Amino acid sequence: MQKLCSFSSSGKSLPRRELLRRAAWSGISLLAPATLSACGGSNTVAELRQLLLTHWQARYPGKAGGLSLQIISASDNYFASSLSGVTARHHFRGASTTKTFTAAAIMLLDQRGLLRIDDTVATNMPGRSESYLPDTPGYALPHRDQITIRQLLGHRAGIFDLSNQLIPVSSNALYAGRGYLDWCISDNPRHSFTKDELAGVLAVNQLSNFSPGLKYSYSDSGYMLLGKIVEQVSGAPLDAFKTRELLQPNGLTDTHFVTDGAEWALPAPCLDGFSLSGGQLLPRTQYNYSYDPGSGNMITTPADLARWIRRLLRGEAGIAPSQVARMCDVMPDSSYGLGIARRRAAGQDFGFGHTGATGGYITDVFYDPKTDVSYLLQISLADFDDMAGEFEWAGAIELDVRKMFNS
């Protein structure tokens, strides 16, 4: 039987709406990896830990939660945390870093000739008589004949985002004027969300933000639809496909995707997560994490996630280098490519990767191809009262880490 963290949480998870709206790609900037080769050994880990601890105590004195940092290069592997006893194999909720796996699954199927990312979702799959998304009322999305798989990957399809937008009050649904996910969980905290269910909400209410291709607009629901396309093309459940094709070949033994609404606990050992809201510190280690299939339902560890982004962007994860290059071909109005974003901060280029934000957990994972270094910063407290300030604070941590490596 799998051992689980025993930390308990009362109540329901906080709505993610405000967190993600303010977090999306304002991001957390990290250390400049070009300086990594200047240091090494246990003294470096101790200095990193002290730096993280000092920053934590300055911003959140006496509060639960903490900072964890993983750095991997060809010759060095560093892990440090402000939390005593935490290791690189402590589990946390990866949130939108999940999208890197869903995008990789799509690009792998494209690589194998089983789909074409420039096809519309209404097009028949290569050599088959079925379309990428089922031709049923439950998938009768607005602009269905115009939406391409590439647009879904790049958040340019105009898909209404059920994670971060309220259902219009003009809807005839019982949940009109509310967030659909919050409404479901308020009725049944252990409800297991499915892709068919979520797509049906979009279709029944004819929800859309704009015509496909007009602009960038981040959408978790767009990645839910990509997850359905993976299932249609591969014939396997999304989580099973990603486990077989991406997790297992890359040795990511501490990572999995939640589909059961009753799976509230994190595997042990785990990072306990907290949220600040209205001045109250709320535990958020345990809650229903099935609400973002394909877009944000991953549980992972610092070691696994930093290893994944490094292998993926080095072309070692099973996705061909030519496909990785397509994923990293970012658009100037968003710095977002196909499931991968470019990270720039303070006039510097930090490489490519993804951020993740959910109740209790904020994550940033990136790889710099110029210096062959991957890095991950994990914050186990989501400050709903000052999200912008929390991200600025994370940037200050990055500056101090760079100074330490340059000394």
Q: Are 23 and 387 in contact (CB under 8 A)?
A: yes
| Judgement on whether residues 281 and 371 belong to the same structural domain of the protein | yes
Domain holding 349, by residue range, is 17-97+240-406
Number of domains observed in the structure of the chain: 2
Who contacts 391 (Cβ-Cβ below 8 Å, separation ≥6)?
23, 26, 27, 28
Instruction: Identify the domain boundary among 236, 269, 302.
Output: 236
3-state DSSP assignment of residue 366: strand
Task: Say yes or no: 377 and 277 in one domain.
Answer: yes
Residues 249, 220, single domain; the answer is: no
Classify residue 12: in a domain, yes or no.
Answer: no
In a domain, 7, yes or no: no
Same domain as 179, residue 75: no
Q: What is the pLDDT of residue 34?
A: 32
Same domain, 294 and 368: yes
Sheet-wide strand order for 256-257: 92-93, 298-300, 256-257
In angstroms, rounded to a whole number, what is the distance separating the alpha carbons of residues 64 and 273? Answer: 8
CATH of residue 361's domain is 3.40.710.10
Residues 6+ apart with CB under 8 A from 157: 143, 147, 148, 151, 212, 213, 219, 222
pLDDT at 7: 30
Q: For residue 385, give every residue at least 6 positions away whose Cβ sits within 8 Å of its Cβ, in sequence order, or none.
A: 276, 277, 278, 279
What span, in angstroms and rounded, lies between the C-alpha atoms of 308 and 24? 21
21 and 72: one domain?
A: yes
Q: Are residues 121 and 83 in the same domain?
A: no
Q: Which amino acid is at 173?
A: A
- Choose one of 202, 236, 270: the last residue of a domain: 236
Domain end residue (candidates: 236, 265, 289): 236
Task: Give dist(CA 325, CA 337) in Å, integer.
Answer: 9
What tokens appear for 51 in the block?
């730096």
Q: Which of 149, 340, 147 is nearest to 229 (CA)?
A: 149
Query: 256 and 338: one domain?
Result: yes
- Residue 370 domain-assigned (yes or no): yes
pTM metric for this prediction:
0.90
How far does Cα 201 stand from its chain's mean position?
22
* Per-residue model confidence (pLDDT) at position 396: 75
Q: Please indicate, yes or no, whether residues 169 and 270 belong to a single structural domain of this protein.
A: no
pLDDT values of the chain reduced to their tens digit, one per residue, 407 residues: 333 443 333 333 344 443 443 344 333 333 333 333 334 466 889 999 999 999 999 999 999 999 999 999 898 899 999 999 999 999 999 999 999 999 999 999 999 999 999 999 999 999 999 999 999 999 999 999 999 999 999 999 999 999 999 999 999 999 999 999 999 999 999 999 999 999 999 999 999 999 999 999 999 999 999 999 999 999 999 999 999 999 999 999 999 999 999 999 999 999 999 999 999 999 999 999 999 999 999 999 999 999 999 999 999 999 999 999 999 999 999 999 999 999 876 666 778 999 999 999 999 899 989 889 888 999 999 998 988 788 777 777 777 776 775 55
User: If we measure between CA atoms, which residue out of 66, 107, 58 comes closest to residue 273?
Assistant: 66
In a shared domain, residues 41 and 84: yes
Angle formed at CA 402 by CA 398 and CA 403, multiple of 5 degrees: 120
If asked whether residues 140 and 152 sit together in one domain, one would say yes
Q: Which residues are paired to 364 by β-bridges?
A: 355, 377
